[in-house]
Chains A and B, each alone.
Chain A
Amino acid sequence: MTAVAVAAKPSLRHRLAERGIDRVLLLLVPGVVFAVALFLYPFLYGLQLSFTPKKGGPFSNYAEFFRDPYLRNTMWTTLWIALPATLINVLASIPIAYVMRGKMRGKRTLTTILVVPITLGTVLTAQGLITYTGPAGWLNKVLSALGISDEPLPLIHNYTGVLLSLVITGFPFAFLLTLSYLSGIDPTLERAAATLGASWGQRFRKITMPLLAPGLAITFCLSFVMAFSVFPSANLVGDPSGTTRVISIAAYHAAFEEYNFSMGSTIAMIMAVIMLLVIGLVLIWRTTLYRGATGGKG
C-alpha cells in the first residue's frame, strides 16, 4: 500500500518518511505475510470453524464443552497441573539465581549444567522417570535400603509423574530467565541500602524483589505457556484417560481421532482464551507492581 503511494507522489513520500514510512518497511513484508498466512489466517479459520459445528447452532460446540463434565474437567486438570508446576519452577529458581548472580567462580559451568536438562526431551524424561522412580527403580531401592519407606512410592502413571516431568523440563528454562533478570539488577543499589543499615531481609524485600517482579511476571508467563500445553508427558508418564487427561489431549482427540475438526478448533480456542486470561492477569498484576515500585522511589 505504502509502496504504491510512495511511487505515485514524491511529496507524499517525504511526508510519509517523516512518520517513519519508507521503502525500508518493505523488508517487513515477507515476515508479515508469513505470520498472517501461517498464524493469523489459520487461527481465524479455526475460530470460524468452531462456530460451524457438525450439528446444532453456532455455539453448540462451546455449550457441549461446558456441559460435558468429561470435557469441562480437562480444563481444571490442565490448570491443576500447569499452575503448580509453573509456581514450583519460578519460585525455586529465585533463591538459586540469587546465590548465583554476580561474579562467581565456575558460574558459566554451573549455568551450563543447569541448562543441560533442556536437551533431555520428553521421551527420555518419561523413560527415565519410569525406569528410575518406578517400583523396581533405583530411587525406591535406595529408599527401602535406607529404611525410609517400605512400599515403593507411586510416582509414575499419575499426577505426580506429570508434575515431575514438567519440573525437570521447565525448571532450567525458568532458572535461565530469572538468572538473567537478576543479573541485570545493579548490585550497587543493594550495597547502598546496606550502607544505610538495611538488613539482608529488608534489602531483599524492598530492593531486589520489586526490581525483579516484572521479570518474574514474564518468566511466569513463558513457563506457564510451556506447562499449559503439556501433551506428550501427560500421555507418557501420566494417566491420560483419568487424572491427567489435559485439555490438549481432548483437543487432539476431537480433531484427529474423531475427525471433528470443528470441535477440535473449539477446544483450541478455549485453550487460547484461558492462556491469554492467565497471561493478562499476570501482566495486570505486573503493572500495579511496577507503578508501586516507581512511586516508592520517587
Chain B
Amino acid sequence: MKGWVARPGRWVVWAIVAFFFVNLIGLVLSVVIDSFGTQWFGTWLPEGFTTHWYGDAWREFGLSQVLFTTGTVAVSVIVISVLVGVPAAYALARRSFPGKQLVMLLFVLPILIPPITYGIPLATVLYKFHIAGTMTGVILANLVPSIPFVVLTMTPFIEQIDPKIEAAARMSGARTLSVFTRILGPLLLPGILAAAILVLVRTVGMFELTFLVAGPDSTTLVVALYNSVFGAGIRANQQVDAMATVYTASMLVLLLIALRFVNPTQLVTRVREET
C-alpha cells in the first residue's frame, strides 16, 4: 500500500537501528569481556580470562551488605507506596471533588521535576532531622517519586473496573475495607503487581536521591557502583566492570519479569492519560 516511495525510507531506518545496536552490543560486550579479562592493553581481546574480579569486587565493596540494603530499601518502598498509593488512586478514580486538579498536580510534580532538584532540599531537611545517612532516610527519599508513580499508574486501572461490582458488594453489606480486600484487591492484583515491579526497577536504579541521602552503611548498589568509579582511591577497572555487569544483569532480570506482566507501550499510554 505504501508503495515504493516508503521503501527506501524503511531501509534507512533499519540501517540506523542496526548501526545503533551494533555499537551498543560492542559497548556492553567490551565491559563484560573486560570484567572477565586479565590484562587488556590495546589488543582486540584480553591476554587471558579469569573470574577473580567478581570475587574481589564482592569482598572489597562489601557487596553482600550493599545487596542487603538494596533489597531492604526496594521491598520497603514497594510495600509502602502500594499501601499508600492504591487507596489514593481509588479515591481519584472514583470521585471528582473541588481541588482534585490541585491534588493531581501534587502527584504529578515529583515526576516532572528532576530528582536532583528536589533531592537537595529534601536531603537538607533530612539532615536537619538526623534521618539522612540512615536506611530510613533512603527509604523516605525513594518514596517521593514512587508514591505518585503508583497513584498515576493505578488510577486508570481502577477506572476500568465497573463501579456496579462494588455497588453490589455494598448492597450486600460489605464495608469499605472488605470491598478492598475481597473485591478490588483480586481484580487489581495484575495492576498492583505491574506497578510494584516498575517501582522495584525505579528504586534499584534511582541514583540521585539515594546518593544525596545515603550514609556509609546505607548505600544501594547504584550508589556503591558510582562511588567505586568516582570516589577516593584507585580501584582496578575490571572490578568496576564486574560490579557494573552484576548490576545490569540484575536490572535485566527485573525488567524482563516486568515485561512478562505488562505490555510496555500500553503501560506508558495509561500513564499518559493521567498526566
The answer to whether the Cβ of A84 comes within 8 Å of any Cβ in the partner chain is no
A116 at the interface (CB under 8 A from B): yes
Contact of B244 among A123, A215, A275 (CB under 8 A): A123
List chain B residues, Cβ under 8 A from A138: 26, 30, 44
B66-121 interface with A by 8 A CB criterion: 83-85, 87-88, 90-92, 94-98, 100, 103, 106-107, 109-121
CB pair B95 A25 closer than 8 Å: yes
CA distance A36 to B122 in the complex (A): 12
Do residues B120 and A228 form an inter-chain contact, with CB atoms below 8 A?
Answer: no
Chain B 181-209: CB-based contact to A (< 8 A → 1; otherwise 0)? 00000000000000000000000010110
- CB of B265 within 8 A of CB of A180, answer yes
Q: Which of A55-63, A68-76, A247-255, A290-298 contacts B (4 or more CB under 8 A)?
A: A247-255
Number of interface residues of B (CB under 8 A): 97
B265/A20 in contact, CB under 8 A: no
19 A–B contacts, CB within 8 A, in A order:
A24-B91, A31-B85, A39-B144, A42-B122, A108-B263, A119-B248, A120-B248, A127-B240, A131-B30, A131-B241, A132-B23, A136-B41, A138-B30, A138-B44, A180-B265, A180-B268, A194-B1, A200-B5, A255-B120
Cβ of A41 under 8 Å from chain B: yes
Give chain B nearest CB distance to A259 CB in angstroms. 10
Residues B259 and A115 in contact, CB atoms below 8 Å apart: yes
* Complex-state Cα separation, A268 to B84, whole angstroms: 28
The answer to whether B226 and A123 have CB atoms under 8 Å apart is yes
| 18 more CB-based (< 8 A) A-B contacts, given A95-B9, A229-B115 | A27-B91, A28-B92, A34-B84, A39-B118, A46-B118, A111-B265, A119-B205, A123-B222, A123-B247, A139-B26, A141-B44, A183-B269, A200-B6, A232-B207, A252-B120, A265-B121, A267-B120, A275-B113
Task: Label chain B's interface by main secondary structure.
Answer: helix
6 nearest A-B pairs in the assembled complex, by CB-CB distance: A46-B121, A229-B114, A31-B88, A128-B27, A27-B87, A180-B265
Q: B63 near A: Cβ within 8 Å?
A: no
Whether A112 lies near B259 (C-beta < 8 A) is: yes
Chain B residue nearest to A22 in the complex (CB): B95
Taking CB atoms, residues of chain B closer than 8 Å to A255 are 120, 123-124
Residues of B within 8 A of A159 (CB): none
What range describes how many residues of A lie at the interface?
35 or more
- CA separation between A46 and B121, bound complex, in Å? 5
In the bound complex, what is the Cα–Cα distance between A184 and B130 (angstroms)?
A: 48
* A8 contacts chain B at the CB level, 8 A cutoff: no
Tell whether, in the assembled complex, residue A132 and residue B27 are in contact, meaning their CB atoms are under 8 Å apart. yes
Which residues of chain A in 30-61 are interfacial with respect to chain B, using CB atoms and an 8 Å cutoff?
Answer: 30-32, 34-36, 38-43, 45-47, 49
Q: Let me know if B268 and A176 touch, CB within 8 A.
A: yes
Report the minimum CB–CB distance from B259 to chain A (whole Å): 6
Would A225 and B229 count as touching, CB distance under 8 A?
no
A 220-235 to B, binary, CB cutoff 8 A, 1 in contact else 0: 0110011011011001
Decide yes or no whether B151 CB sits under 8 A from chain A.
yes
Q: Which chain A positions have C-beta within 8 A of B28?
A: 120, 124, 128
Q: Which residues of B contact A24 (CB under 8 A)?
A: 90-91, 94-95, 176
Please, how many angstroms separate the alpha-carbon atoms of A115 and B176 in the complex? 39
Interface string of A255-292 (1 = CB under 8 A from B): 11000010011011001100110010000000000000
CB contacts (< 8 Å) of B112 on chain A: these are 221-222, 225, 275-276, 279
Is residue A99 contacting chain B, with contact meaning CB distance below 8 A? Answer: yes
For A105-125 the 0/1 string (1 means CB < 8 A from B) is 000100111111111111111
- Give the CA-CA distance A43 to B143 in the complex, in Å: 15
* A130 and B149 alpha carbons, distance in the complex (Å): 34
In the docked arrangement, what's the CA distance between A184 and B222, Å? Answer: 35
Is A19's CB under 8 angstroms from B98's CB?
yes
Is B167's CB within 8 Å of the partner chain A? no
Whether a CB of chain B sits under 8 angstroms from the CB of A92 is yes
* 1/0 contact string of A62-88 vs chain B (CB within 8 Å): 000000000000000000000000000
Q: Which residues of A contact B268 (CB under 8 A)?
A: 176-177, 180
Q: Which chain B positions have C-beta within 8 A of A20?
A: 95-98, 100
Q: From the candidates B84, B125, B205, name the one contacting A42 in the complex (CB within 8 A).
A: B125
Cβ of B266 under 8 Å from chain A: yes
Please report the C-alpha to C-alpha distance between residue A133 and residue B27 in the assembled complex, in whole angstroms: 8
Interface string of B168-180 (1 = CB under 8 A from A): 0000000010000
Measured between beta carbons, the chain A residues less than 8 angstroms from B212 are: 252, 256
CB contacts (< 8 Å) of A22 on chain B: these are 95
Q: Which residues of A contact B84 (CB under 8 A)?
A: 30-31, 34
B26 and A124 form a contact (CB under 8 A): no
CB distance from A178 to the nearest CB of B (A): 9
Task: Say yes or no: B244 contacts A124, CB within 8 Å.
Answer: yes
Report Cα–Cα, A136/B264, bound state, in Å: 38
Q: Of B9, B116, B148, B251, which is within 8 A of A35 by CB?
A: B148
B271 → chain A, closest Cβ, in Å? 9
